[in-house]
Structure formats: C-alpha cells, structure tokens
Structure 1
Amino acid sequence: MEHTRWLDEDEQQTWRAFLAAQRLVSDKVERRLQAAAGMPQAYYEILARLSEAPDRTLRMSVLAESALSSRSRVSHAVARMEESGWIVRRSCPTDRRGQLAELTDEGLRVLEAAVPDHVESVREAVFDGLTRDQQAALREAMEAIVAHLSERPGWPVTGDSGPDGPDAARAS
C-alpha cells in the first residue's frame, strides 16, 4: 500500500490559492468574452491559434494538442465555428485521414474585434494585480508545472511543420 504524501500547511494554502485564482480568472475572462464577443474562451483560443499558424491553417490534431483539449471537443467547436463562417475544414493533401482547419477572413475579423477587450480583461484579471517580479515568478512556476505535466516535450505547440503538415505540402 502506498504512503499518502499529505500536503503540509504551506502546500495546502498554495493549492487553495491556485484553485481560487484559476477559477476567478477563468470566470472573469470567460464572462467578459461572452458578453463582449459572444464566444466562449475555447473558441477564442482556437481562433487565436489559427491566426498565428502559417497560412492560418493547422491540422486538427495539432490544434487540439496546442489548445490542450481533446480532439472531439475541438472538432465540435470547429464545426460550430464553421457554421458561422469563421473556419473552414478540408482534407489534408498529404494524408487522407488528416483534416486541416483554416481561419477564414471572417474568422480573423471576428478575432481581431474581440482581441482588445479580451486582452484588457486578462490584464485586469492577472497582470494589474502583480508586480513585474511576481509576473516573472508566476510564469516560471506555471512553465515548471506545464513541463512537469506535459506529455509533449515541445509544448506549447505553435505550428504544424511535421512531415504531413501544410508546410510539407507546400514544399513538395
């Protein structure tokens, strides 16, 4: 039988503070994004990831991985955004099983309209309450947690330049 490694008092306070902060920040940003842009944070994240990708296109699997979400959840969200004309899906030219998601001009317009208020809500929720030293410490701590928990050594995923990605299709 394994021995339980109980949290000490400091660890318990840190854990509870982390949970409270994560929930408060997520709730504030989500509510404001819904009110201002009419979209959930998950949609914003997908649009932002696509806007940063070469040709505003990513494989669906890479999109899910970069957003730290399941493929089915991302597929459902992309389908909804496809209905709105924000994203188009198409087959991967080098892999018939793969699908690509591409941010449309309309999707980019919607994202660009949402960005200023979203950035302000993130600034108010997180950065306005911290000094530069605290921001650096927070980033360092969060990066350590991500590195510890991430199954992919190259996180965050920022593009799709693998052997079957859009970059490979353009190169051939």
Structure 2
Amino acid sequence: MTATDPALTARAQGWIALSVLYGRIEARLEKALEARHGLSAREFFVLDVLSRQHDGDGGHLQMRQLADAVVLSQSATTRLVARLEERDLLERYLCPTDRRGIYTNVTPEGAKLLDAARPTHDEALREALADASGDRELAPFVRVLEEQKTDS
C-alpha cells in the first residue's frame, strides 16, 4: 500500500471524520455540563462509569481499572479523582482484601449530581448528533450510533 492508495485514503478520511464527530460531541457535552452542573465531560464520565459498577450505593473500581475505563493515564485519573474527591463527589478507600489496591466510590452527593446531570448530557448528545447527521461525512457515523441505541 502506498500513501495514495484509495483504501488507505478512505480509511484516513473516515478516521478524520470520526475524530471530528467525537470533538463536536465532546465540545457540546463540555459546554452544557459545565454551564448547568459545574462538571467537565471527563468528570461526568468518571462518575457515570463508577455509578454503573454495581446496583448498591456508590460504585467502585480500583484506580487502575478506572483509568482503563475512562481512557486516561493513571496519573491523570488520580488528579481527576482528587478533584472530585475535594468536591465530595468521590471517595477513595483501601481494598479490604488487598491493601495495595485503592478503590474509588461515588458518594451520595456525587450520585445526586450525576442524576441531575444525566438529562443534560443526554440532551447535549442528542443535539450534537442531530447537528452532525446533516453533515455528509459525519452522517454515516451518526447512523451507526443510532442503530446501536435501538439494538440495546
């Protein structure tokens, strides 16, 4: 394959379009969540991921598992968790069976904020996808996302 290979070019163009779509969605989420709830999109995502870990209060993962789930480095995840912990939205504690492991848990205040922010997140996501569906290059990706919604 050469750099001018049509398949490579199409793949690269698809990747660029997907990146553009991601950027537009993230920007819309960031603006809405920050304005209405004082949360960044990453903070929302951390709270959301943790809240879905079990059916009881909170939600917990080891810090390294959380870093993998939110696609951040461990150091960036630790800084993000520290900021959320300062706001009493998360708490960290030692694993009862392995003292080397540190778990992260959503506090009641974090769960309350997440519940309030979810409709904002969903509305901003819907708006971003609706805007993108009118773009010829982004529309195929929007269709795939919409199909996933109906399949689940």
Aligned residues: 136
Query: Identity of aligned pairs, percent?
Result: 32
Using the alignment, how far apart are the partners of 1:81 and 1:14 within structure 2? 35
Q: Describe how 1:2-151 pairs up with structure 2 within 5 A.
A: 5-6=3-4, 8=6, 9-54=9-54, 55=56, 56-126=59-129, 129=133, 134-135=143-144
Per-residue deviation, 1:48? 0.4
Q: Could you list the runs of 5+ residues in structure 2 that have no partner in the other structure?
A: 134-138
The answer for unaligned runs of 5 or more in structure 1 is 140-172
Q: Distance in 2 between matches of 1:137 and 1:36?
A: 26
Aligned amino acid, residue 77 of structure 1: L
Q: Is contact 1:25–1:126 with CA below 8 Å preserved after alignment?
A: yes
Question: What secondary structure is seen at the aligned counterpart in 1 of 2:72?
Answer: coil
Conservation of the 8 A alpha-carbon contact between 1:127 and 1:135: no
Rounded to whole Å, the distance in 2 between the matches of 1:4 and 1:62 is 39
Q: How far did 1:138 drift?
A: 7.5
Compare 94-103 and 20-29 and name the one that shifted more. Answer: 20-29
Following the alignment from structure 1 to structure 2, what is the Cα–Cα distance between the partners of residues 21 and 13? 12
Please identify, of 48-57 and 37-46, the stretch whose mean Cα deviation from structure 2 is larger: 48-57
Amino acid at match of 2:27: D
Q: Give CA deviations for 1:54-97 in whole Å, capped at 9, x if unaligned.
A: 24111111111111111111111111111111111111111111
CA deviation after TM superposition for structure 1 residue 25, in Å: 1.8
- How far residue 22 of structure 1 moved from its aligned partner, in angstroms, is 2.1
Runs of 4+ in 1 over 6 A off after TM superposition: none
Q: Which SS does the other structure have where 2:101 is aligned?
A: strand
CA distance in 1, matches of 2:2, 2:85: 48
Residue 13 of structure 1: CA displacement? Answer: 3.2
Distance 1:39 1:77 in 2: 11
Separation (CA, whole Å) in 2 of partners of 1:80 and 1:112: 19
Provide the TM-score with structure 2 as the length reference.
Answer: 0.77
Distance verdict in 2 for CA 1:33–1:6, change over 3 Å: farther
